[in-house]
Chain A
Amino acid sequence: MTNQYDAIVIGAGHNGMICSALLAKTGKKVLVLEANDQVGGAAITRKFADDFSVSACAHLLFQLQPDVIKDLGIEPDYSKKSMETIVLTEDGNHIRYQGKNISGVNEEDKKNYIEFHNRMIRFSDLLKTYLNKRPPRLGTKNTKDLMTLAKLGFDIRRMGKTEMREFLRLIGMNIYDELDERFVNPYLKGALSTDAVLGTHLGPRSPNTILTYLYRLAGLHGDVSSIQGGMGGLMNQIRSIAEGSGVEIKTNSKVNEISVSNGAVTGVQTEGGEKYLSSTVVSNADPKQTMMNLVGPKHLEIRFTHRIDNIRMRGNASKLHFALNALPKIPGFEDLDYQQRILIAPSEHYVEKAFNHAKYGESSVRPVLEITFPSTTDSSLAPEGKHVMSIVAQYAPYHLKGGWSNESKQQFSDAVKSVLKSHMVNIDQCIISEELLTPADIEQEFNITGGHWHHGEFTLDQFMFVRPVAGSSQYEMPINGLFLCGAGSHPGGGISGACGRNAAQVILQRD
């Protein structure tokens, strides 16, 4: 039969593509079915205005795991490698940091920052080891799991008494308290808070925002880069690697059912009615979408369904794209500064206050912004002399009171523009066209429940042993032959590829 495969991957997000390529490398016949017309999931480049293109969701690369790069032989074509982060101040004396280098703060803060950064790097390195392998199961007799657990305990202990205590003290803590204790400069505290909460439904005072910060650093130590041609450029390369390994990819093929018989998968069916058969189905879709919609609760256990249903995945980050006829004026900026990563988060209180609105179903009046001008390093995105501004703006809750409408979208994009204006006085004259993607739009366009990039909040109760839910953290779902390979599984979201790679390893070990 022609529509019989060794494995079917649902969704051509970066994890799905990486997983499919690794499976196909072992000689398996692998099919990838993608709902949209191009591969990449939330890592694509697409047009948003005449002659202007942008990375439509994820726009910066800072987590792609070295193991993934090595295994697949990816050679990322950076348009800008190792970006500096510039925290905008009103007077133009901006704070800049990259790795352990920092400027624009006093000597005391500088010293503390280096100490803070070094410690965070040490802790994130510990985390990194565990991101790139199957999470161990608690209460198990499996030798491999027991070894991993023992190693985890040993690794923590090996840091020494002081560091171990610090690790255990910090891991569940909020970043606000830690920053407040260490630093004086509000802009620095605002920026580090932002690094911890980007893409989450958390404020700097929410528990475990140190963990989310560590997760950001794990792998590349927070080294931020952009890719030539946008995220789509990276995905095109991964696509050719996958196809070179023999993966078959069908776009515009939205899977609407995972077929189950007698507790085991038999294949999938698309909206168009095509059926593809396989005893191994790997879903890059989020866990809720996969289990509740594609499989359906009637095939699942009650407590398991309950857990899946309760996964917290309320997206709170929105994406704004502006087509510009010129770069806006920013006080104290030189030409090369526009190539960096720019934050507007004047203090830790500012970030927390922005989050306050989201708690009650309102969008932030003064949002937190992460800004890039990708066209300054990549001429393929905008016509000569013109530019693209790509912004992640928080917070814009998925469950907005009254729902997202044209009015509420306008209100939020006005709020963003008003924040921009306090640093870019001529921004209004620069804008030709704009696009706002709220979490509701992100859900629609990228098929992510709740529009949450991480496919589930990254918190201690949805982390490692219990990601996506307790009892199924090892990629294997309670339906025989069904696996998850997306960000909803361990370790989590971001363009890291670890989920896809770990899932592929689990599937291959099973054979």
Chain B
Amino acid sequence: MSNKNNLKDKIKKPNAPQAFFNSYDTKENVNDSNNNNNNETIDEINVKDNNTNNNKNIEINNNKTYVNDNDVVDDNDYLRELAAGKKAIKKKPKKVFTSFYMDPDLAAEVDKIAARGEKGDKSRLINQGIRSLLEEYGVINKS
């Protein structure tokens, strides 16, 4: 049904209801694709800049996007140096966007550490924390 509708859309501009229905078709296709590929999904953490406000809740959605395993980089050494106040070597692994809520105390600590680093360091820190936890749980292999 969705392929037929996609073809129709190319021939004829969809009206608003068709666009509405198509938006669900698209989502279904993504879900189907997810199931067919049977890949793991990794969420990137979106840490909002809290420097300008005191709201420590960090909002997140559950968008799921695929990431090639080759893109995942071990940031452990980098973050250890950063937390210790040493000069860290910059790495730029590929990430995906998502969002979630953090406990205020954790968000404050993350902010403090990230303030000593560069753009993207918050994400690296959160990724490393979750990676360590999931390795401990046996969900993913140790890197």
| A interacts with B | no
Q: Which residues of B contact A (CB under 8 A)?
A: none
Q: Which residues of A contact B (CB under 8 A)?
A: none
